[in-house]
Each structure stands twice: as structure tokens, then as C-alpha cells.
Amino acid sequence: MNLFVLTAVVVVIAMLGLWLLSLRLKDASIVDIFWGLGFVLIAWTSFALGYGYRPRRLLLCSLVTIWGVRLALHLWRRNHGRPEDYRYAAMRKRHGAQFKWVSLGLVFGLQGLLMWLISLPLQLAQQAILPWELTWLDWLAVGVWLTGFLFEAVGDWQLQQFKADPKNRGRVLDQGLWRYTRHPNYFGDAVVWWSFWLFAVAVGDGLFSMLSPLLMTFLLLKVTGAALLEKSLAKTKPAYKAYVARTNAFVPWWPKQSR
């Protein structure tokens, strides 16, 4: 059976199982925690079924695993002990008894489809026979991944430390990486996916798989990431407007008053 069909089947089974668990827990938020782990599952499934250059496949799977496990642990620590995310809680209230079926399609089904589409570079890079060596593009991908991973992990850590201090309630984080971009964690996440795409470029599958980083960057900027968060922060933090005026939205750069 085709690799892409098998990974799709794995995703369907995983999301169905996760949906059933969410019904038992009465919490659809678990889908967010599984997001990174889903890519880890797809990567290692592709590794088991692939036949490309083994060191490249191991390197790619290792990077995906580090990224995905860190993200899952971060979201689990953030959400542990808290009620269901407000987005899903609002859907639950709006749809009532039909929410379980709505969540199957619009939450778990949709995220599963996006996960499979975005994972295309992870699948393509592991089934290409040539080149039978690590090229400069592979090493460039590692460097880009490290840059993105540090922005994402350090950005999340700085925000976590900031929120943990009661004195910062109502204030805006504008220090560390957050001085240069309003969303260092989302920027880092996007860069990580451009690095995974470079692995596909290294094996000659860059054109088709470019959908992956483009889609992920669009989601982070316009759908689930920066746009959604900024709409909320603009309403709850008066100082956020001034922060927006002086700080780049996504790509890091010097604050405007320092130029």
C-alpha cells in the first residue's frame, strides 16, 4: 500500500481514538496537546515504511521528535488542571448535545487533515532513494531548525516565566525575544517547518511539499496563532497598542524607536 495512504490511515485511527478520549474527559482541548505528537507519529511511521538514506531519515525523525515532544509537554503543563479551552467551550455551548459530532469533524477531523497535509515533507524526504548521502541542504536544514526551535522554546519559556510573576498581571511582555517580535514562539514554529521542507528540497521534492511550510505559516499568522491572540490581547491589555506600534508582528527586528 502507498506510504501516503498508510500515514493517512494512521492519522485517522489516532484522531478517532483521541476523539473518543475527549468524550470521556469532556475536554476537546487534548487535541492541541496531541498536535506535535501527531507529527512525531507520522514521521516514525514514514521511517518504518520508507527506504531512503537511513542517516537522513534518522536525523529528520529525531528533529521532529524533539520539536513535537517539547511542544506537547509545554501545552500539557500550560493546560493541566485548567478547564476546557474557551474556543472549544464556546463550541460546546453553541452546539449542545450535537457537539460530540461537530467536534469529530471540525476539531479532530480537520486537525487530522491539516496534520497529514503539513507532514508532506516528513513523508517525502524518507522515501526518496537519492541522494545517498547528507548534502549541504540537509545541514542547512539542521541550522534553520535550530534557529526556529530556539525561538519557539525560549519564547515559550520567557512567556511562562513572565506570567508566573503576579506583579506582571495586566502588563505586556516586551523583554527578551519579545522585544524584537510580538510572537517569537510562532515565528520559531514557522521556521522549524521551513527547515523540515529543506529536507524535502535536499531529495528533490521541494516544489510539491512547499505547501507544508506555507500552510503552517498561514495558520500561525492568520488563523490559530498570532491573529487570534492579538485580538484578545488588544481588548484586555491597554499597553498592548503601544507595544504593537513599536514591535514587529512576526519576523524579529529592532524596536522602531531604536532604529
DSSP string for residues in 169-185: TT----SGGGGT-S-HH
Q: Output the pLDDT for position 231.
A: 73
Residue 116: C-alpha distances to residues 3, 17, 110, 127 (Å): 12, 16, 10, 16
Q: Could you count the other beta carbons within 10 Å of the beta carbon of residue 120? A: 23
Instruction: Give the chain's end-to-end CA distance (angstroms, integer).
Output: 57
Q: Output the pLDDT for position 82.
A: 87
The number of helix segments (H) and strand segments (E) in the chain equals: 13, 0
CB 193 within 8 A of CB 217: yes
The pLDDT tens digits along the chain (259 residues) read 588 999 999 999 999 999 999 999 999 999 999 999 999 999 999 999 888 899 999 999 999 999 999 999 999 999 888 898 888 999 999 999 899 999 999 999 999 999 999 999 999 999 888 899 999 999 999 999 999 999 999 999 999 999 999 998 888 898 999 999 999 999 999 999 999 999 999 999 888 899 999 999 999 988 876 777 777 777 777 788 888 889 998 999 999 874 4
Q: Output the pLDDT for position 1.
A: 54
Which of helix, strand or coil describes residue 63? helix
78 Cβ contact list (under 8 Å, min separation 6): 160
CB 151 within 8 A of CB 187: yes
Q: What is the pTM of this model?
A: 0.92
Question: What's the one-letter identity of residue 123?
Answer: Q
DSSP one-letter string for 205-221: -HHHHTHHHHHHHHIII
CA dihedral 67, 71, 77, 82 (to 10 degrees): -170
Length of the chain counted residue by residue = 259
